Amino acid sequence: MGTTTQNLWQGLITALDVYSVILFFVYFVLGVVACFAFFTFFFRKEIRLFKNRKRPIMIFKSAGEDMEIETKLLRDSQLFNIPEEPTDKHQNIDRIKNHSLIIIGYSAGMTNFEDIFNGAKNAGIPVIIYSKDKIPDDIFNKLRNYSWYSSCQVPLRLINDVFTILSTFPNK
């Protein structure tokens, strides 16, 4: 009777050891797969941001308005590529083929807003409407026909919006 109990006990311990080893490997593999999935998601987003950061950002402004502080703030962050000074020439919209983002410095009386906005919309490039004042409802009604726009009124929010758009918008 003693050897049967001993053999049963030995078999039970062996079975528990095998079960523990199998369980360890299952959890280990699940952990590796979860880490791989997380890092793939994280690095894909970082690679997208890196590629978009290298592409230029174009800034349009109203005639007679100043976007110097906002442009300097974006450049000083050293996160974004803004090779040109802000322009009030709406004809430059034809040059936005490789740009990652268009910023429109809007003010009341901006005569060429629709040309700039429609050019960006046709090119499929995200647009940020930046205004130091309230943006009128008729402008918002035009914006609602385009999915890739944001609006802001303060410089810090402008930096945040630029960074967010560049890190999430798919690069072309």
- The whole-number pLDDT of residue 171 equals 64
Instruction: Look over the chain and give the mean of its residue pLDDT values, rounded to a whole number.
Output: 84
Q: Which residue has the tokens 């910023």?
A: 103
Cβ–Cβ under 8 Å, residues 139 and 129: yes
Please state the separation of Cα 126 from the chain's center in Å: 11
Residues 126-165 pLDDT 10s = 999 998 888 888 888 888 888 889 999 988 899 899 888 8
- Residue 95: CB atoms within 10 A of its CB come to 13
For 170, the 3-state DSSP assignment is coil
Instruction: Provide the pLDDT confidence category of residue 44 given band limits of 50, 70 and 90.
Output: confident
- The whole-number pLDDT of residue 2 equals 62
Is beta strand 101-106 parallel, antiparallel or unpaired with respect to 57-61? parallel
Is the pLDDT at 11 greater than 80, yes or no?
no
Q: What is the length of the chain?
A: 172
- d(CA 89, CA 105) in angstroms, rounded, equals 12
Q: Which residue has the tokens 């987003």?
A: 45
Fold of the domain built from segment(s) 55-168: Rossmann fold (3.40.50)
Residue 121 neighbours by CB under 8 Å, 6+ apart: 127, 145, 146
Is the pLDDT at 35 greater than 90, yes or no?
yes
Instruction: Provide the pLDDT confidence category of residue 37 given band limits of 50, 70 and 90.
Output: very high
Helix ranges, 55-124 (H): 68-76, 113-123
Residues 78-93 pLDDT 10s = 888 888 898 888 888 8
Query: Which whole number is the average pLDDT over 106-121?
Result: 86
Least trusted range by pLDDT, from 1-5, 50-54, 62-66, 128-132: 1-5
- The whole-number pLDDT of residue 36 equals 94
Cβ–Cβ under 8 Å, residues 100 and 148: no
Instruction: Provide the pLDDT confidence category of residue 27 given band limits of 50, 70 and 90.
Output: very high
